[in-house]
A and B are shown apart, each in its own frame.
Chain A
């Protein structure tokens, strides 16, 4: 008996190992996704190395204000003479941090609420759905601006909080629908009959089956939040100017004089955002192709 049991276990193990291999092969066959991954890794590494080396992003070089890219300042300097290369590197750290943190946190909240609403149904479901509808009555950016007005302080932690609070609804809806349909499955009924606790069924048994769309939406949400932060900082309602983010650097481009005469101030951070978001979108698409069972 025990021999047979371990045999099944080993079989399962080798089956999952070969599925993993198959998935990896499938992912690496998708050239765009691999390029996306490489670009993401390179940019993240560059930003982290830049931050670790403590490149100076804050001290103005008073002799070289608004100077074009040169050997001294690779990306040129901004309107008050701060080195743009250092600012783009540091800004990358903050922007990517904002994107990743908000995507992960808001997806965890969305998934947890979606699981509870979809699994229990009834009144609990109604209440949570109503709350999400109130949030969705606004375009997200307007909602964020509203809370910025209410919180009335520009700081990194405030921004993170606001993005997480306003960003969970799409994941919530998706996870809730999955739970609604999975709740009727036989295996859930069996678990209930065994007397398993609700939380164990919800998070131990059903959640693994919903993990794929959650992972994919987390990935693409990173891009979404980075763009969101950039837009918010651009109109001057994001993080305070002392903290460089890609959006904050671009804020200088609100003045027509900068747009006209100092192209490097907006071209480099703009290109950094675009490249990173593009890479994440490609990577996310590749991940979806590999993980989505419906497509196989």
Chain B
């Protein structure tokens, strides 16, 4: 098992390197010249010689491959570089990454609890009211674009009712930071949760139905075990494994969704940072943000692999 984990961990390194290379050289090919962000155009044309010296001193005339490894060395030693507007990327990330973790983490937790809960109830009471409502909501939840859900929630809760703010993560001079966080997180988390619940609910329901129709459940029932115990101890525990894997599998969807949702709610996380950087052509920031997201995704798929191996020994043996 340890060997398996180590092997998977080591496999992540070349993957990250490859991704960083693709993004780095890809972005170089866009032809955005960092000099244009440093020097105003009229100065640029007047002082061609000075600009050339500046270029040389910044290392912009070196071959691309040299520039790449210099950048990589800096990133590995923790120097993430500077955005085109001059601010330190590391400082920006340090503030914004936790915001995205809050958003994605709470959404994951809530949607797991609600989605699995509703899924299991609707499997136990198949064709009951909760099952019916749940299925309709699942179908709708997959058809309405997530950002539209966000807009509708803003319209209702932020504008009509005025209960929650429609944008940002912190309000200046808030008396209670915890309450402030709750109010700002509520709507974006709710939006992401609705989308995730729609998927998870359907899956949890089908898995639980499969389990409930299996022979050992009938055996358990025929032994006279109380119904709630049959569901919880025999059904739920066995249905949990595949559901857990699917929850982890959905994290990329959550991250992709949070990029859009951060834009809807002007929520200053990694996703919004990346969107703005792309729009303004700020490629040092694009580089770092995509790498962070790629690393997060690799860690997730690593966790899925390990979890799979833990739950199912055949996976380990097959490797």
Binding site for B on A (CB under 8 A): 133-134, 136-142, 145-152, 223, 227, 230-231, 234-237, 250, 253-254, 256, 259-260, 263, 266, 270, 273-274, 277-278, 281
Pick the contact of A231: B147, B283, B297, B301 (CB < 8 A): B147
List B residues at the A interface (Cβ < 8 Å): 15, 18-19, 22-23, 26-27, 29-32, 139-140, 142-148, 151, 154-155, 159, 166-167, 252-253, 255-257, 259-260, 263-264, 274-275, 277-279, 281, 283, 286, 290, 293-294, 297-298, 301
Q: Which residue of B lies closest to A226 (CB)?
A: B145
Question: In whole angstroms, how far apart are the Cα atoms of A266 and B155 in the complex?
Answer: 11
- Known contacts A140-B252, A149-B278, A259-B151; 5 additional CB pairs below 8 A are A138-B290, A149-B30, A150-B30, A237-B275, A253-B151
**What are the residues of chain B within 8 A of A141 when measuring CB–CB?**
256-257, 259-260
Q: Please indicate the chain A residues that have their CB under 8 angstroms from the CB of B294 in the complex.
A: 137-138
Q: Name the 8 nearest CB pairs between A and B, nearest first.
A: A139-B256, A141-B256, A150-B26, A278-B143, A139-B252, A277-B143, A235-B263, A152-B30
A281 and B148 in contact, given A142-B290, A152-B32 (Cβ under 8 angstroms):
no
Q: Is the CB of B260 within 8 A of A234?
A: yes
Contact between A237 and B155, CB atoms less than 8 A apart: no
Give the number of residue pairs across the A-B interface with Cβ within 8 Å. Answer: 125
Contact flag A142-B145 (CB < 8 Å), given A137-B298, A256-B166: no
Shortest Cβ distance from B225 into chain A, in angstroms? 33
**Complex: A138 Cα to B294 Cα, angstroms:** 6
Is the Cβ of B15 less than 8 Å from the Cβ of A231?
Answer: no
Query: In the docked arrangement, what's the CA distance between A281 and B143, Å?
Result: 8
Helix, strand, loop or mixed for chain A's interface?
helix
Q: Are A138 and B15 in contact (CB under 8 A)?
A: no
Taking CB atoms, residues of chain A closer than 8 Å to B19 are 134, 137
Contact A230-B145, Cβ < 8 Å, known A137-B15, A142-B290:
yes
> How distant is the Cα of A274 from the Cα of B301 in the complex, in angstroms?
31
Contact across chains for B30 and A139 when beta carbons are under 8 A apart: no
Consensus secondary structure, chain B interface = helix
Cα A227 to Cα B149 in complex, Å, equals 13
A-chain residues with CB within 8 Å of residue B26 when the two chains form the complex = 146-147, 150
- Give the shortest distance, in Å, between A88 (CB) and chain B (any CB): 14
Interchain residue pairs with CB less than 8 A apart (24) = A133-B15, A134-B15, A134-B19, A139-B255, A139-B256, A141-B257, A142-B274, A142-B293, A149-B277, A149-B283, A151-B30, A152-B32, A231-B146, A236-B275, A250-B147, A254-B264, A256-B154, A260-B155, A266-B148, A270-B144, A270-B151, A273-B144, A278-B140, A278-B143
B297 in contact with A139 (CB, 8 Å): yes
| CA A142 to CA B32, docked complex, whole Å | 20
Contact check, B143 vs A142: say whether CB atoms are below 8 A apart.
no
Q: Is the CB of B148 within 8 A of A235?
A: no
Q: Which residues of B contact A150 (CB under 8 A)?
A: 23, 26-27, 29-30
Say yes or no: A234-B147 contact (C-beta < 8 A), given A142-B290, A146-B290, A150-B26.
Answer: yes
Chain A residues near B275: list those with CB within 8 A.
Answer: 145, 235-237
Residues from chain B with a CB closer than 8 A to the CB of A230 are 145, 147
B301 contacts across to A, CB distance below 8 A: 136-137
Check B297–A137 contact: CB distance below 8 A: yes
Please give me the residue from chain B that is nearest to A263 by CB atom.
B155
Q: Which residues of A contact B290 (CB under 8 A)?
A: 138, 142, 146
Q: State how many angstroms separate the Cβ of B139 from the closest Cβ of chain A.
A: 7
What's the minimum C-beta distance from B55 to chain A, rounded to whole angstroms? 21
* CB closest chain-B residue, reference A147: B26
Give the residues in chain A near B298, CB-CB below 8 Å.
Answer: 137
Q: Please, which residues of chain B bring their CB within 8 A of the CB of A278?
A: 139-140, 143
**Chain A residue at minimum C-beta to C-beta distance from B293:** A142
A residues less than 8 Å from B140 (CB atoms):
274, 278
Q: Which residues of the other chain, B, contact A145 by a CB distance below 8 angstroms?
A: 259, 274-275, 278
